[in-house]
Structure 1
Amino acid sequence: MTPHAIWADTSVSALRAADHLLLALAAELALPEGTFGCTHLVRGERPRVALSFTLPSEPLLRTAEERLTAQGYEVRPGVPDEVGRAVVYPGADALNGTLTVGELLTRSAIGRVTVLGTPGQPPAGQTLVTHGHVRPQWQGGELVLAAMPAVGGTLVPFEVADPTPCCADH
């Protein structure tokens, strides 16, 4: 990742709300292609989700920092940790519907796909059904999408947009 990064502390405690906030801020800031926007879980006495923005240039970084500060966010340099969950990243908008693993890797900044419970990467021709929700995570400086097997030999991202709460039927 580029060194042009800042993060904003928030009072948001749920990933879904943090995703919406990050996407709204990215739209407000009119962030260019090449920008990464990630969520980061902050633990401790006040658990919450922080947002980071990695931008392609120093001037864009300063502009984003000024605008976020003006909106009342506490902004710090860098990222809060190295395992951010990417919401905004190059190619994210091109990952809707059904595509192959190879297409996902070609169309986006995602560098690797892993499948839960299996060694290595899936074949490039393996079908992946995204449901419009693809949230890779930084691992060792590379964006990695965790996927899981699904019906008909396809894959789906491990994280779903609308998870069923634990014990929802009790």
Structure 2
Amino acid sequence: MIGLSLGHRTEREAEHWLREIVPPSGLPGLVACTHLVQAPYPHVAISLAVAEPPPGLPAPAPELRDAAGRAAAEHAARRSGRAVLYPGVERLTGTLTVGEVLAVSAIERVTQLGGPPPGPDVEVETRDFVRPLWHDGLLTLVTVPVAGGRVAPFEVPDPTPCCADH
């Protein structure tokens, strides 16, 4: 398990960095997560679960080593982390059933915010943006109901910033 804390201010920045450092062919079995951390200042740390780390990974600055260690520990314990890269993520495009999401990816559970878990035949509108979370030791996709009896990932690809109209 590798923890990295490079001072990324947003999840988008951290994701962009991950996509630059991980080769286009990916790394077999890689699960890369982002972690919101508060110390020594609010930023996004990264954890990588991979057999062979990509070459050229930078070392965190001394003041960010604790945050990197916490991210790695949380991921290793499967307690927290938002998965960005994981087995099967490239296959989660368009509309799939819950059963298909579970069959083709590392996602282990699908839940629905404010309701019972969707059944295996319920369609998931992926919006080509699927970011599961570690919850209770399982990589879990949290969804919300959308039109037509379908569900969609709770996290949207391009959220409107708070107070965007000010």
TM exceeds 0.5?
yes
SS in 2 for 1:133: coil
Determine the C-alpha separation between the residues in 1 that align with 2:161 and 2:5.
26
Gaps of 5+ in 1: none
Q: Count how many residue pairs are aligned between Structure 1 and Structure 2.
A: 156
SS in 2 for 1:22: helix
TM-score (norm. length: structure 2): 0.85
Two-structure CA RMSD over aligned residues (Å): 2.0
Determine the C-alpha separation between the residues in 1 that align with 2:114 and 2:160.
22
Determine the C-alpha separation between the residues in 2 that align with 1:27 and 1:49.
21
Determine the C-alpha separation between the residues in 1 that align with 2:34 and 2:83.
7
2:126 is aligned with 1:130: yes
Match of 1:106 among 94, 103, 107: 103
Q: Please list, as runs of the form range in 1=range in 2, the aligned pairs for 1:65-144 lying within 5 A after superposition.
A: 67-69=56-58, 72-74=59-61, 79-81=72-74, 82-119=79-116, 121-144=117-140
TM-score (norm. length: structure 1): 0.83
Q: Please list, as runs of the form range in 1=range in 2, the aligned pairs for 1:1-170 lying within 5 A after superposition.
A: 5-27=1-23, 31-55=26-50, 57=51, 60-61=52-53, 64=54, 67-69=56-58, 72-74=59-61, 79-81=72-74, 82-119=79-116, 121-170=117-166
1:20-63 superposed Cα distances (whole Å, 9 cap, x missing partner): 111221227x64221111101111341110111101x3xx14xx
Q: Which runs of 4+ in 1 moved over 4 A?
A: 74-78
SS in 2 for 1:128: strand
Q: Percent same amino acid among aligned pairs?
A: 42
Determine the C-alpha separation between the residues in 2 that align with 1:166 and 1:37.
27
Determine the C-alpha separation between the residues in 2 that align with 1:151 and 1:169.
27
